[in-house]
Structure 1
Amino acid sequence: MTTHDTFPVTIYHNPDCGTSRNTLALIRHAGIEPTIIEYLKTPPTREVLVRLIAEAMLHPREAVREKGTPFAELGLGEPGITDEMLMDAMLAHPILINRPFVVTPHGTRLCRPSEVVLDILPPVTAPFTKEDGEVVIDNQGRRVR
């Protein structure tokens, strides 16, 4: 039996995003092979997106990605934009969904920065360094940030 069987994890992943790749690497470093949903290829339904945002204790505006998206072109930063309008935009343009969302039995988080995932995984003490060289867990098994 793998850890995945006893501790299911789902990541809404974008393989082109460094934060998403680091989050996936941390999950695997914990000995878990997650269910990976490449949300740009398989966007969540409205029901799933609403649930992810609510379980992560966020408001839709906090789940919207501005950088590298049509956020400005769609006028999403303008006064009067409602949560419902933001949800509609994220569903129509999944690149607007910030990433990565991770769901585990310990909770749901938008893992920015990537080490936020450690809050919802079983304890991880083995040293871990991000792909850019930033140390997340040191040689004594302590979180650096």
Structure 2
Amino acid sequence: MLNLLSTLVRGAAARAAEDLHDQHAFLILEQQLRDAAAALDDSRRALGRAIAQEAVDAKRQTALYARMVDLEASAVAALAGGREDLAREAAEALAEMEQEALTLETTRAAYAAEVAALRRAVRKGTHQFAELERGQRIARATEAVRR
């Protein structure tokens, strides 16, 4: 008897939860749409930041390569002029610049991967958001027909 009463109480609680969900389904769906729109906007902003940072790094890398070419030419001129001390300093500076260029290349590769992942996430989020909006329109039409 106690088992039957326990089952009856659980069933009534489940039905009450379903009724509450059904009564507020449109409110819940609207909030889910707002949450999805906010998340999609955040994703788009993150994508924009990542693209901008990658562009900044690309410009830095281009400028670094130009400085390296100039410094290499200066080192060759110093050697030709018999200034081994200047050539040695230029070679040391070139070694540091090459390390910085390698670091930039690694960073750019990471940003490229992040940008690709964010683009996929934004596309997926946009599709899911459109599906939620379609679901909302269908639910409203169904409710209108039901009334």
Which TM-score band applies after superposition, normalised by the shorter structure? under 0.3
Q: Please give the TM-score of this superposition, normalised by the length of structure 2.
A: 0.21
Compare CA radii of gyration and give the structure with the larger one: 2
User: Normalised by the size of structure 1, how large is the TM-score?
Assistant: 0.21
From the two aligned structures, give the one with the greater helix fraction. Answer: 2
